Structure 1
């Protein structure tokens, strides 16, 4: 099985101007080499048949992706309308500024198979393409954000995957994201 870093994920995981809330201490090439040579500690099913999650112990200083919301940090929440790419419509995002999450214990790599990547207009020369990565304290998936589920349901033309919303998964996502937020450093 071979894994490649997609053009979609690279600027989000390894931006030109490094940020504290992205993958630390390694280059994109070192990241891909590690994923292709070190077996994951677990492989989880993703939200659709074309999606798998490879769970790796964190070998970097990358910090956890999300922070629980509390009365002590609620005043540090920020929001804005943003798009992940120039082709996507902006959606409302929420994040913390001024928090210091712990170093993540796991990197949970989100992979799409070659056929799905081609369907979304990003052909790859590998079996699997990296579309994202979650930095977590547990070897488990962070629920997909509700807006990402909606974007996926809108289809490939709107930056999604074409997978309809699963109402139970959506309800679990809302319950999680009401109590947590990403952070920016």
Structure 2
């Protein structure tokens, strides 16, 4: 099985100007090489048949992706309208600034099949393409953000995958994201 770091994921996981909330201690090329040279500790099914999650014990100093919202840190939450890239519409996002974040125990790599990436207009030569990565304390998936579920339901024309919203999964995601936030 071959894995390719897609142009969609590369700038989000390995930005030109490094940030503390992205993958640390390796380049995009080293990351891709690691994924191809090492079997995942666990493979989970994703939100659709074309999506798999490969869970690796964190070999870097990358920190957890999310932080619980508490009464003590709520004042550090920020928000803005942002797009993930130039082709997508901005959506409301929120994040923490100025919080202490532990090193993640796991990197949960989100993969899409070659066929799905072709359908979305991003053909690859590998079997699977990295579209994202979660940095977690446990070897589990963090629920997809509700806005990402909505974007997916809008279809590939709006940067989604064309998968309809699963109401139960959406409700679980809302519960998680009300109690947690990303950080910068």
Q: State how far apart, in whole Å, the 2-side matches of 1:138 and 1:37 are.
A: 23
- The answer on 1:157 being equivalent to 2:154 is no
**Residue of structure 1 equivalent to 2:131:** 131
Match of 2:115 in 1: 115
Name the counterpart of 1:43. 43
Deviations 1:2-54 (Å, cap 9, x if unpaired)?
00000000000000000000000001111011101111110000000000000
TM-score by length of 1: 0.99
Structure 1 counterpart of 2:14:
14
1:50-89 equivalent positions in 2, closer than 5 A: 50-89=50-89
Q: C-alpha offsets along residues 87-122 of structure 1, whole Å, 9 cap, x if unaligned?
A: 000000000000121000000000000000011111
Moved over 4 A (4+): none
SS in 2 for 1:141: coil
**Structure 2, unaligned runs of 5 or more:** none
Equivalent pairs, count: 184
| In structure 1, distance between residues paired with 2:5 and 2:124 | 9
* Alpha-carbon distance between aligned partners in 2 of 1:87 and 1:77, rounded to the nearest angstrom: 27
Q: CA deviation at 1:157?
A: 0.3
RMSD: 0.3
- Which runs of 5 or more residues in structure 1 are unaligned? none
